[in-house]
Amino acid sequence: MEAFDWQRMLLDDFPVAFLGEVALRACLAYAAVFIFLKVSGRRGVRQLSLFELVVILTLGSAAGDMSFYHDVPLLPVAMVFITLLVLYSLTTRLMKRSPRFGNWVEGKPVVIIRDGLYELGALEAQNISSDEFHMELRRAGVQHLGQVRLGILEVDGDLSLYCFPAEETHSGLSVLPEELNPTYQHIPADGLYACNRCGNPQPLQAKHDATCARCGGELWNQALDWKRER
pLDDT in tens, 59-102: 777 777 776 676 767 777 777 777 777 877 888 888 889 888 87
- If we measure between CA atoms, which residue out of 93, 111, 112 comes closest to residue 101? 93
Confidence category of residue 50, pLDDT binned at 50, 70, 90 = low
CB 196 within 8 Å of CB 173: yes
- Give a yes or no: residue 2 inside a domain: no
Give this prediction's pTM: 0.66
Of 37, 41, 36, 32, the closest CA to residue 75 belongs to 32
At residue 43, the pLDDT reads 45
The stretches of the chain forming alpha helices (DSSP H) are 6-10, 18-40, 50-68, 74-97, 99-106, 122-125, 130-139
Full domain range(s) for residue 145: 110-222
Residues 217 and 127 in one domain: yes
pLDDT band at 142 (very low <50, low <70, confident <90, very high): very high
Instruction: Judge if 96 and 137 occupy the same domain.
Output: no
Q: What whole-number distance in Å separates Cα of residue 111 and Cα of residue 85?
A: 33
- Residue 194, amino acid: A
Number of domains in the chain: 2
H-run or E-run covering 111: strand 110-114
Domain match, 23 and 98 both: yes
Mean pLDDT, residues 32-37: 71
Q: What is the pLDDT of residue 201?
A: 96
More confident residue, 136 or 78: 136
pLDDT, residue 57, reads 76
Q: Distance between CA 111 and CA 118 in Å, rounded? A: 9
Instruction: Read off φ and ψ for residue 166, nearest 5 degrees.
Output: -55, -40
42 has pLDDT over 60: no
Q: What is the pLDDT of residue 40?
A: 59
Q: Is residue 3 part of a domain?
A: no
Domain boundary residue among 55, 74, 104? 104
Does a structural domain hold residue 69?
yes
Q: Are the CB atoms for 77 and 65 separated by under 8 Å? A: yes
**Cα 193-198-200 angle, rounded to 5 deg:** 40
**Do 99 and 145 reside in the same domain of the chain?**
no
**Average of per-residue pLDDT values in the chain:** 83
Domain boundary among 77, 104, 131: 104
Is the confidence at residue 124, as pLDDT, over 70? Answer: yes
